[in-house]
């Protein structure tokens, strides 16, 4: 199975946060394709393949002049549609229509800049995952420089609660204070979710401060690269985390996260400060674990995984990631200890 998910090119994925794209162009890689993001003269976000059609110099090394991106090698300029606007040294009136750069589909929504590499049949219209942008909630975006590893392993990691007793011991769960939890796997044709019901909230500091009196959580996989986790009390949603693992290559991906909370709770600035104070150490722990896993996979020539009795998400994840479909079913509840 390829480490790049099926259908990635026809899917909208974040390439940057809106706040990251300012005056200078940004270089990004999505699914092995270098792209450049920039803002035109009206401040609109634009995206092109990061390759000047003249001599294949990276356009991301250039600058925006008069609303168009200028290649620093020979000075060719391109607008947001990729049209060539100027070739220095050319006689006035020269035909430039055939000399454009390749545009990349782009939308800016809800504080992030999304791109789609491919058009045509099967290309999805833009639709954000549930809750993102909902006006009744506060939303806090987070991203980092690329991580080493396979996107599918990052997805399995975030869907797997069992590592939290070890990698995140004390922050999310406490290994010496395990409790009974009821786990149910619900599969649908194009996605699945894992539901966890418990009689008391988790004991880690992050869980106790951010989630409140949680008794239910749901982890959902939205193919090809999105995880969404929802934490709920008897009053309803307390916290939602939507994470995009955007592959740059087979062994490198850029994470984007959007944390969502109902507005009825604490002030936005306080919630953001609390969330970000825990996201940093948890992300650092996961980043290290996934990089070490990837090194080991490489050292042995590929993944050699064995599934244990609690590994219920691995098979449906792999099937959807590879472009397959699932049989609608419900498996559980199973009693597990977390």
Question: Domains of the chain, with CATH numbers?
Answer: 8-116 (2.102.10.10), 137-337 (3.90.380.10)
The DSSP-derived string for 187-210 is E-SSEEEEEEE-SS---SHHHHHH
Q: How many CB atoms lie within 10 A of CB 279?
A: 18
The DSSP bridge partners found for residue 191 are 222
Among 143, 137, 88, 77, which Cα is nearest to 112's?
A: 143
pLDDT at 280: 92
pLDDT at 16: 98
pLDDT at 177: 82
273-309 pLDDT, tens per residue?
988 988 999 999 999 999 999 999 999 999 999 999 9
pLDDT at 110: 97
Structure tokens at 146: 């690329």
Kindly state the percentage of the chain with pLDDT values over 70: 95
pLDDT at 170: 77
pLDDT at 271: 87
The DSSP-derived string for 197-265 is E-SS---SHHHHHHT-S--EEEEEEETTTEEEEEEEETTEEEEEEEEEEEEEETTEEEEEEEEEEETTS
Give the residues of the chain that fall short of pLDDT 50: none
CA 15 to chain centre: 9
pLDDT at 313: 96
């Amino acid at each position: 199975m390829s480490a790049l998910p099926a259908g990635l090119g026809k899917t909208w994925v974040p390439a940057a946060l809106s706040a990251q794209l300012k005056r200078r162009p940004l270089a990004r890689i999505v699914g092995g394709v270098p792209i450049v993001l920039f803002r035109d003269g009206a401040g609109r976000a634009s995206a092109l393949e990061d390759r000047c059609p003249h001599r294949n110099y990276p356009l991301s090394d250039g600058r925006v002049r008069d609303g168009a991106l200028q290649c620093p090698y020979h000075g060719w300029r391109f607008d947001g549609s990729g049209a060539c606007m100027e070739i220095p040294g050319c006689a006035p009136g020269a035909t430039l229509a055939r000399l454009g750069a390749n545009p990349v589909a782009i939308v800016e929504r809800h504080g992030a800049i999304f791109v789609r590499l491919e058009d045509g049949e099967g290309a999805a219209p833009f639709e954000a995952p549930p809750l993102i942008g909902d006006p009744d909630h506060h939303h806090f975006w987070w991203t980092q420089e690329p991580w080493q590893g396979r996107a599918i392993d990052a997805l399995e990691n975030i869907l797997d609660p069992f590592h939290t007793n070890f990698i995140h011991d004390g922050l999310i769960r406490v290994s010496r204070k395990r409790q009974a939890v009821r786990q149910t796997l619900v599969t649908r044709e194009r996605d699945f979710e894992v539901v966890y019901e418990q009689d008391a909230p988790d004991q880690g500091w992050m869980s106790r401060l951010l989630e409140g009196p949680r008794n239910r959580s749901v982890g959902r996989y939205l193919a090809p690269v999105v995880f969404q986790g929802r934490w709920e009390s008897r009053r309803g949603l307390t916290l939602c985390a939507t994470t995009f693992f955007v592959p740059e290559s087979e062994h490198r991906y850029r994470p984007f996260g959007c944390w969502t909370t109902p507005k009825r709770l604490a002030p936005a600035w306080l919630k953001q400060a609390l969330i970000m104070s825990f996201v940093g150490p948890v992300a650092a722990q996961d980043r290290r674990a996934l990089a070490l896993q990837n090194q080991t996979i490489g050292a042995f020539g590929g993944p050699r995984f064995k599934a244990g009795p609690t590994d219920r998400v691995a098979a449906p994840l792999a099937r959807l990631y590879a472009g397959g479909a699932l049989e609608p079913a419900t498996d559980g509840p199973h009693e597990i200890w977390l």
